[in-house]
Structure 1
């Protein structure tokens, strides 16, 4: 492969890369490896028909068996992009005929079976994944939860990232006391702001207070998203902290922020868990752009205990209020407690940038990328910094890197489309907006509305 093509690959500009690859193919028609590269580039550009055309040309040649399996996988992915699951499966199977443990083909088949709600087939493919693949357990958990097989789901909830999901699973297994015990443990370790589980806690407490209606409660919980029904259930509880905290959390989920604030203030009348309540109240003030109230409330929480959640909120609030030195101070405290608090890296980077230390901001984001290269948010943040300093080339490069990390998230494409639209380059804006529609055909904004 020539040096010019290698440099083009390093720049991550797919359109330029495609132009160079096609030019090189004209100059080197016997270099059949170019067909595969061209196919991959067309796939990155969401031109899946062209991707299939060129991978077929590649497959006409002799190659090692593992590379042929990879080629069938590439062809399968192109059909996947066209929503042609049947043809995608045919090509994944061809790859698996050559290499029965072809990891990516088994993974893609599992995802398709899951989408089709063919769960036994999905689990069969998941079982073939290597134990080192982080997607193996997460896919199992998702499939078992969709099946309603909560016991099997719980079996694979052994990672720390799933800790907040465990009480929900235990609740669905009717193990209410175990769910409550685990919730108390999570609260004690300050691993949750309680928002995701407060309603479950309240309903469980209600069942313990009034066992004569436990069956009725369980039936009503089937319609968990019915706001009035669940609220009326919680109202049946005796007045206590969890009653008002749960009402606030549930109201917050439906963006009924005034109700949430009123109920959190009622929760503060009780002695228990004041720090958690103040933190939740401060977070809602922050969500509703009442930054001064948010700051005062979180400062009260921090006087009780410098919890990770409260410190993270103060980092974000300080950035929003343009108090950049305070933002950096709180961010350093957060990262001392949890070096994987990824939002905090971004807040601190933008604080340094606002103070004129853009080089330091880039160093912080590079450190974050180094610790978690598969997190798209850092590439988006780095792209945003480049956009702010007027470096369009690097803005597009790093924002597209976020898309390559997670090609199922349209956010990076939306950002680039908006960037070009705001600058009057409607041709490029339209090109990226069309890519958004491939991922999200029902995207709720027109190009003009971005």
Structure 2
């Protein structure tokens, strides 16, 4: 029911009672009220909601001395005259009116929350005695400076001064040691003062849409170890991603939300985690390099040792073969000398008998020499030419020829076997090498 002037009867009817003293709270919002003076009769009234009415003053409430909670949001108030005696008030919400001053609240010593947003207040004053004040909302008022009016308010935990005309904060908040939320968006602030570092408990800070241009104007952020939510959008320094990254490096590890976006661990701790990651990567790379060098050194050492053993084995075989050939040559020379002596001793008459003996002995001796893997090629060909020079008879010729061919084949086969054995040895050596040797042998590397 629309009304302009409130009556006691209407209130009692609304509350369905006849006892004025029993009425402790009233909701009279959106009733287009211009006069509420009848409320002075309700002595026990503690909570009163007069939102969205047409009140121009609060004189009708001066006798409601037990009021603790009062809302007069969106009326037509030009002053707060009439509330000076309401000393029990703990919450006063007079936002969206036409208030030009806040002088009247100086006597409200028990006030804890003062909400005066969207008015025409130009200066903050008369707050020094409000020792219990913890929330102050003065957004959208033509306030140009904070001054020292908050210097005695040590219990302030929330301050909202957004959309004002503030150009600097200075040391105005240095005494607000319990400050947890500070809203200063849409002002003309050029830098955050160093004194802000005294607000150690600050959790939420909004300085969006100001005129902060340099990184030095935000250096104090690094000292706010409890900061969780930061907004600097709309400042020149946050115009590009490069500058925003620089700001992120300043942030303490506690920040969870930056410019209304959640930060993951990596990005919010970018300065620290990047260096830690780089250190870990460097250590890992150094460890891998050291292991690689150690493995390469070990593999190289093993390769050299293997090569030395192979070389020694080859020298040993060569030496043995050379010694065998030398003994055979020596034996052959002795045999020839003996033959010549024998021929001289027997004379020309015994030449035929010696030749016959040579013919009978040659096939057996030659076969034995050809079958001997230690016999040198020089010895074989020497014996073959001697046989050809002194031999007679087709049978013996055929025998010698067959023996020679067979023997040479066998010798060549033995040589092939030696080569093949050498190849197998080399292959075996390669197959037994450690995995790291694949690098040197052209195989796939074992290292990443």
Q: Which protein is richer in strand relative to its size?
A: 2
Please give the TM-score of this superposition, normalised by the length of structure 2.
Answer: 0.30
Please give the TM-score of this superposition, normalised by the length of structure 1.
Answer: 0.30
